[in-house]
Structure 1
Amino acid sequence: MKRATFQLLACIATCITVINGQQTRPSITFAVSTVKPSQSQGWRLQPTLNGYTAMGVSLFQMIQEAYGIYQPDRLSGGPAWIDASKFDLEAKMEDADVSVYRGLTLEQRHQMLQALLADRFKLVVHHELKEFPAYALVVAKSGPKLHAATLEQTTPDGDIKGITGLVTQSQRGLLAVQGFSMEGLASLLSGYGDVGRKVVDKTGLKGRYDFTLRWAPNDRAITASDASGPSIFTAIQEDLGLKLEPSRTMLDTIVVDHAEKPTEN
């Protein structure tokens, strides 16, 4: 009965009720959470199989992760230290509840991190829609050059990275995927500095596909070996039969109304 009750809570974790402009917290929370000032020279922020781990990150970066908004100009407000002070963070589920956590969607996990920031940083935010330059991902005149994925290669929606498909290789100038949707590709491209804008899927393609994309990154020194490599825009058209067209779109932005530095654990 206890397990059934917890699973029911997992199903309703995405239901957020807005009352007087404030959001209620999700029903599921992390069993253990630690936040402390960081002396690290580098930084890391990533989901784990049972929560989140972060080292040397700012509250600005944690808010980006918690709300899935990674373009800096879509986050504003807050105290002066929001992007200057660095913290280490660990958030974990109880061992007995890890299997339930893995079944949550990316949005449910984001809501748990939002609740943690509200609790530890006294974070209060509100949303505003603003228009931004974007790219529309469309089918090129030559037609798509995509290979349909087999059923065995696809992965269910709501995996730990929130991408509708499996990334088999990801590094500078190389992306290889299996069972990927066009919505997933647009989402992934939106986070690439070589693209630099939000990408919206306008291909009309509803299947899942396997493909490899290679390009010459535009923000590093080009060596003789990759001087002839295509830009990511050219590679998308030549390798995938798709195209990025300049567009504009309304995007959600986060405005920080209040935040406090957390007390040490």
Structure 2
Amino acid sequence: MRIASRSVLVPLLGGILCFFMGTSAVSQVNNAVDDAKSLKFDVVSIRLSSASPKEQHLYITPDGYEAIGFPIETTLLVAYADAPFFKHLEELKGVPSWGGSERYDIRAKLAAADVAAWHNLNQNIFRTAPVLQHMLQQVLAERCNLRIHGVETKVDGLALHIGAKSPALVEDSTVPAGGAGSQLLDGARFVYTKQNDDQTWTFYNTSMSVLANWLTVSSKYQVEDRTGLQGRYRFVLRRLAEQPAEGDSTTQVDAPMPWDLHAVGLKVDREKMPSKIWIIDSIERPSSN
């Protein structure tokens, strides 16, 4: 069941990452879930997909939500798991084989009168979006007769801290000239460079919470910001070599954190992070439109 799901889901993640790393991603100010009670999708279309790989995408749109060419399992994860959803594949249990293998096109739109309120929420697929989750949970209950329950648990994670004997970070909110690089959340940007085998990411106007979000996407575990730093920073991250180099103490093999954080005054500590396992009690194929 899980193998079938991953055979569909994993190849699509590269496209999502390209969207996140290479396009304008808006920031998210998550209001209380109660704000979702006044919002509901006005039109929801769920159909078996014939989308080509180039057409497959997963977006929070200006007026709703689209998951084109993805299995229902993906929308289940978006609706219930913390973001980014693909870090929590093992925390969703009881998905039937069809839920992980059959691909669907889901298009959910709000009424025109609700679009302004939706836009003001500034939700992003790479940060947990309680309002979107509440609305998707309603859709899954109505269209798939979903019955699901959660069990509190703890999972391996990384806590981002200030390094004990590392260079001090200096606040710097400048951005690259001419809008160079790629946009991250909250107005942050990064510029990627590669020279021979040396890969570096230069971050501009970047908060620790945005950095933790980026590290989560690009590393093995969920990363939480525990630095207490509230400013914006400019710094350069170097990717650690995959194989140990003689005399290089920063090299790691199969490192859970593949970036040289020490050089920018940071470190991560392995910790158990609170999470939730979601167990599907019953679910049916989506009802016809």
How many angstroms apart in 2 are the aligned matches of 1:174 and 1:62? 33
Q: 1:252 corresponds to which residue?
A: 276
Aligned CA RMSD, in angstroms, stands at 3.4
- Distance apart, 1:217 and its partner CA: 9.1
Quick one: distance in 2 between partners of 1:90 and 1:244?
39
**Alpha-carbon distance between aligned partners in 1 of 2:191 and 2:74, rounded to the nearest angstrom:** 21
Q: Does 1:57 align with 2:78?
A: no
TM-score (norm 2): 0.65
Q: Is the 8 A contact 1:138 1:244 kept in 2?
A: yes
Does the CA contact (< 8 Å) of 2:189 and 2:205 recur in 1?
A: no
Structure 1 stretches of 5 or more lacking a match? Answer: 1-10, 17-24, 154-162, 223-228
> Secondary structure at the residue paired with 1:115?
helix
1:48 is matched with which residue? 61
- For 1:136, the aligned partner's letter is A
Alpha-carbon distance in 2 for matches of 1:170, 1:33: 38
Offset, 1:87: 0.3
| Aligned equivalent of 2:103, options 86, 96, 101 | 86
> What is the TM-score normalised by the length of structure 1?
0.71
Q: 1:209 aligns with which of 215, 221, 233?
A: 233
Whole-angstrom CA distance in 2 between matches of 1:116 and 1:217: 45
Match of 2:44?
A: 33
Secondary structure of 2:33's counterpart equals coil
Q: Is the alpha carbon distance of 1:81 and 1:94 closer, same or farther for their aligned partners in structure 2, counting shifts above 3 Å?
A: same
1:123-171 residue CA offsets vs partner (Å, 9 max, x unmatched) = 2221111122211211123346544254x98xxxxxxxxx862343488
Please give the alpha-carbon distance, in whole angstroms, between the structure 1 residues aligned to 2:78 and 2:192.
20
After superposition, the Cα gap between the structure-2 partners of 1:45 and 1:144, relative to the gap in structure 1 and judged at 3 Å, is farther
CA contact (8 A) 1:53 1:91 kept: yes
Tell me, in whole angstroms, the C-alpha distance in 2 between the residues paired with 1:206 and 1:12: 20
Q: Which residue of 1 aligns with 2:216?
A: 190
2:234, 2:67 → 1: CA distance? 32
Aligned residues: 226
- Residue 223 of structure 2, aligned match among 173, 177, 199: 199
**Is the 1:75–1:255 contact (alpha carbons within 8 Å) kept by the matching residues of 2?**
yes
Identity %: 26
Aligned to 2:153: 130
Once structures 1 and 2 are overlaid, which stretch shifts more, 209-218 or 27-36?
A: 209-218
Structure 1 partner of 2:141:
118
Query: Residues 96 and 15 of structure 1: is their aligned pair in 2 closer, same or farther, counting only changes over 3 Å?
Result: closer
* Counterpart position of 2:16: none
1:237 aligned partner: 262
The separation in 1 between residues aligned to 2:191 and 2:141, in whole angstroms, is: 33
Q: Conserved in 2, the CA contact under 8 Å of 1:77 and 1:255?
A: yes
**CA spacing shift, 1:183–1:169, aligned 2, 3 Å:** closer
- The letter of the residue matching 1:33 is V
In the alignment, is the contact (CA less than 8 A) between 2:166 and 2:262 conserved in 1? Answer: no
SS of the residue 1:134 aligns to = strand
- Whose helix proportion is higher, 1 or 2? 2
How many angstroms does 1:61 deviate by?
A: 0.7
- Displacement after TM superposition at 1:237 (Å): 2.5
CA contact 1:146–1:241 (8 Å) conserved in 2 = yes
Matches of 2:170 and 2:200, distance apart in 1:
18
For 2:130, the equivalent position in structure 1 comes to 107
Encode CA deviations 1:3-38: one digit per residue, 9 max, x unaligned. Answer: xxxxxxxx997139xxxxxxxx83310111110011
181, 186, 205: which one aligns with 2:207: 181
8 Å contact kept, 1:13–1:27: no
- Mapped to 1, the partners of 2:186 and 2:168 lie a distance apart of 18
Per-residue CA shift, 1:178-228, capped at 9, x if unaligned?
554323332332232xx211212222223343445453696xxx9xxxxxx
Q: Is the alpha carbon distance of 1:176 and 1:102 closer, same or farther for their aligned partners in structure 2, counting shifts above 3 Å?
A: farther
Name the aligned partner's letter for residue 181 of structure 1. S
CA contact (8 A) 1:165 1:178 kept: no
**Structure 2: stretches of 5+ with no match in the other structure:** 1-29, 124-128, 176-183, 194-198, 244-249
Q: 2:34 aligns with which of 7, 11, 15?
A: 15
| SS in structure 2 of the partner of residue 131 of structure 1 | strand
* Structure 2 equivalent of residue 158 of structure 1: none
